[in-house]
Amino acid sequence: MTEQPQSHPPPIVHEGHISTVSSVAFSPDGNSIVSGSGDKTIRTWDAHRPSPIGEPLTGHRDSLYSVAYSPLGDVIASGSSDATIRLWDVNKCRQLGAIQGDHPFYSVAFSPDAKLIASGCGDYYSFPPANTVQMWDVQNMTAAANPFRGHTNVVHSVQFSPDGYRIISGSWDDTIRVWDVERGTTVVGPLKGHISPIVSCSFDRTVRLWDARDGKLIDNPYEGHTKGVNSVAFSPRGTYVVSGGDDKTVRIWDVRTGRQVDQPFQEHTGGSLDRKMIIRSILANYPQLSNGLDSHTTHLDEGDLVQSEATQISSHLSTQQVFECLIAVGCVNLSPQMDTHQNTAMIASGGGFGDIWIA
């Protein structure tokens, strides 16, 4: 009997924006999604069914470039071409205030403690150059530090490290930089590798992994997209990278092998230009504990990317057992080599609009 190929569940499609969807983000609990569009509106959506949540949020005077949830999921930050970052109360669906800048905000990101927002800015015609990373005080809605300078073109993507001590930025100048939050100085980089701008509509069609400690490229670039790569993200466990490109496909990559997993997903008719948001439920199987929680030896079956229900793994594992679990599913123990003050091990970058994610 010929084995039938595994079928994927149908995606959830959200429609409502009347212009390009430029940015989307999941809430921390995974139950809702926020989107920003060229139609100057922000919309929130149910992540599990094709329905909006509340009315669109309005107030920006120009296109949205970036949206982000706060760590608790109670505030949304939005960055716009109108040179403002606006903060929104998720529960009351109203604007809390606005941070006024001098140039378009292409990317916004909350710090892990939600006290700061990092932004990526840029302006082709300004002098002095406005291609900076900036820090903003959330409570006072004022600048928290002088701009971080070093990029020579628009900064299209920013992201905090999990410990909040570093910011990673990507720019149209073809580089990634890692910044010290307190000092505002580049501590790693500029990282170079893409033959087209990291945060533009790149045509190098690759995804690359970087070691954030020494700035070196990890393994070879991931190749498979037939056009520029616009967005990348790690899976929650850091085992997989997902990428979206101008070839209208979403692809999943195994970090351990550098290979593409399964066939690409292709539902968009024109990237985000089709004004749709598409949600797919693709989960990694949680490892099965075969010897019970009381055993000092834990055996695991490597998880595959299949549709599954989430299974809770007991929190009573010892630190050593956790390490054994991670190593069993393909992770490499780098703790002996780690700088105790810098926990971020990898950066993924796409040669497109420039989402940067760390694991």
Within a domain: 284: yes
3-class secondary-structure state, position 328: helix
Token code pair at residue 196: 């087209």
Within a domain: 267: yes
**Cα 236–chain centre separation:** 11
Within a domain: 304: yes
DSSP letters along 175-201, please?
EEEEEETTT--EEEEEEE--SS-TTSS
Per-residue pLDDT of the chain (359 residues; tens, 9 = 90+): 444 445 566 777 788 888 888 888 889 988 898 999 999 999 998 888 888 899 999 999 999 999 999 999 999 999 999 999 999 999 999 999 999 999 999 999 999 999 999 999 987 666 666 899 999 999 999 999 999 999 988 998 898 988 899 998 888 887 888 899 999 888 877 877 654 433 223 457 788 777 766 667 777 888 888 877 777 777 666 777 887 777 878 888 888 888 888 777 776 554 445 555 555 555 443 332 233 323 222 233 334 443 333 333 334 444 455 455 555 444 545 444 444 444 444 444 443 334 444 44
Within a domain: 87: no
Within a domain: 122: no
State the pTM of this model. Answer: 0.64
- Would you give the end-to-end CA distance of the chain in angstroms? 42
Polymer length of the chain: 359
User: Is residue 313 a contact partner of residue 328, using CB atoms and an 8 Å limit?
Assistant: no
What phi and psi, each to the nearest 5 degrees, are found at residue 354? 100, 35
**Count: domains in the chain:** 1
| Secondary structure percentages of the chain, helix, strand, coil, to 5 | 5, 40, 55
User: Is residue 351 a contact partner of residue 202, using CB atoms and an 8 Å limit?
Assistant: yes
Q: Domain residues for 319?
A: 200-359
Helix (H) or strand (E) holding 341: none
Sheet containing strand 346-350, strands side by side: 217-223, 206-211, 346-350, 356-358
